[in-house]
Amino acid sequence: MDIRKLASPEEYLDAERLQRAVWNFPDREIIPLNELVALQKHGGHVFGAFDGKVLAAFCFGMPAFRDGKAYHYSRMLGVLPGRQDSGLGYAMKLKQREYVLRQGLDRVVWTFDPLQSRNAYLNIEKLGCVIREYLVNLYPASGSRFNEGLESDRFTAEWWIASRRVKDSIAGRKRAYRLEDYAPAIETRVGEAGWREPASARFPARARKASIEIPDDIDALKKDDLPLAQRWREATREAFVSAFRKGFVAHGFLGIPEVGRRRSFYLLEKGYRVR
């Protein structure tokens, strides 16, 4: 697989087609060729992963500025259906890290759905991101197939690309967690259909460490029981907003095999600092 900057007009048109294939965007939400070319020429990047002449994945981002500090905003990363378990997304992020470090920046920021467990594992465990911001219904008019049925809440992922945490993560050095060390912010029970249901959401008052459970496969749950998926959105929104207001940081993600369905947990610690 050859990962490099897009170059020809046809490659940029392929990026438009890939956006439709991945997200099923309507035309108004496609980032078009002329915008991608402008980004590429003025401090941003548009990378593609090519299998021969086939564009299998692409990502783009740009320099950004917030609260008096410069960083890199990663706007979009997409991998063709059928290749999404191939490690391409991870490889694209590593390419992006190399590029941003050469620009002299030490932080990359992007958003993702808190209920997508696969993205959570990639972002937090494999890449070493931390989370301290929850955005409610960020894209209320989005036509993406991933937003169907649920409001488009998002996390802001912070990737401190020069930190020891990130270097350890991309080197494959695993962090050890014990779920019992983290007080549960959401109590759950198994419902009649076998899906776990949020029974109550109450953030632990005095805890320094807390866990927040999410469904392991929100897309399957939406197809099977959309009202329950919506209850999970509401319960986790309440828990995360409360946690971040209290100074907690999501720094770990843990999957636990169980009979029936796997369980997934975000792990949070008050005042956690990236080193």
Q: How many angstroms separate the CA atoms of 40 and 60, rounded?
A: 8
Residues 136 and 20 in one domain: yes
Distance of CA 198 to CAs 181, 206, 266, Å? 20, 21, 15
Q: For residue range 254-270, what is the model confidence (pLDDT) as tens digits?
A: 999 987 789 999 999 99
Residues 96 and 153 in one domain: yes
Identify whether 117 is part of a domain.
Answer: yes
Residues 151 and 228 in one domain: no
Q: How many angstroms separate the CA atoms of 155 and 6, rounded?
A: 28
Residues 59 and 91 in one domain: yes
Q: For the residues of 198-209, what is the DSSP string, one character each?
A: EEEE---SS-SE
Residues 98 and 217 in one domain: no
Residues 135 and 110 in one domain: yes
Q: How many angstroms separate the CA atoms of 165 and 251, rounded?
A: 10
Residues 122 and 41 in one domain: yes
Cβ contacts of 82-89, under 8 Å, gap ≥ 24 = 83/56, 83/57, 88/1, 88/49, 88/56, 88/57, 89/57, 89/122
Range of the domain at 220: 179-270
Residues 120 and 250 in one domain: no
Cα–Cα nearest to 267, from 187, 178, 199, 206 = 178
111, 138, 170 — which closes off a domain? Answer: 170
148, 170, 192 — which closes off a domain? Answer: 170
Count of CB atoms within 10 A of residue 250's CB?
A: 28
Low-confidence ranges of the chain (pLDDT < 70): 141-147
| Structural domain count of the chain | 2
Instruction: Say what the pLDDT of residue 146 is.
Output: 67
Instruction: Say what the pLDDT of residue 79 is.
Output: 95
Residues 66 and 134 in one domain: yes
Identify whether 275 is part of a domain.
Answer: no
Instruction: Say what the pLDDT of residue 55 is.
Output: 96
Q: How many angstroms separate the CA atoms of 81 and 85, rounded?
A: 9
Instruction: Say what the pLDDT of residue 143 is.
Output: 58
Q: How many angstroms separate the CA atoms of 243 and 203, rounded?
A: 7
Residues 185 and 74 in one domain: no
Domain of 53: which CATH number? 3.40.630.30
Instruction: Say what the pLDDT of residue 82 is.
Output: 85
Residues 84 and 213 in one domain: no
Distance of CA 33 to CAs 11, 49, 93, 202, 229, Å? 9, 17, 22, 47, 36
Q: How many angstroms separate the CA atoms of 123 and 45, rounded?
A: 20
170, 204, 229 — which closes off a domain? Answer: 170
Q: For residue range 42-88, what is the model confidence (pLDDT) as tens digits?
A: 999 999 999 999 999 999 999 999 999 999 999 999 999 988 888 99
Residues 137 and 237 in one domain: no
Amino acid at residue number 182: Y
Tracing tokens 């294939």 back to the chain, one arrives at 21
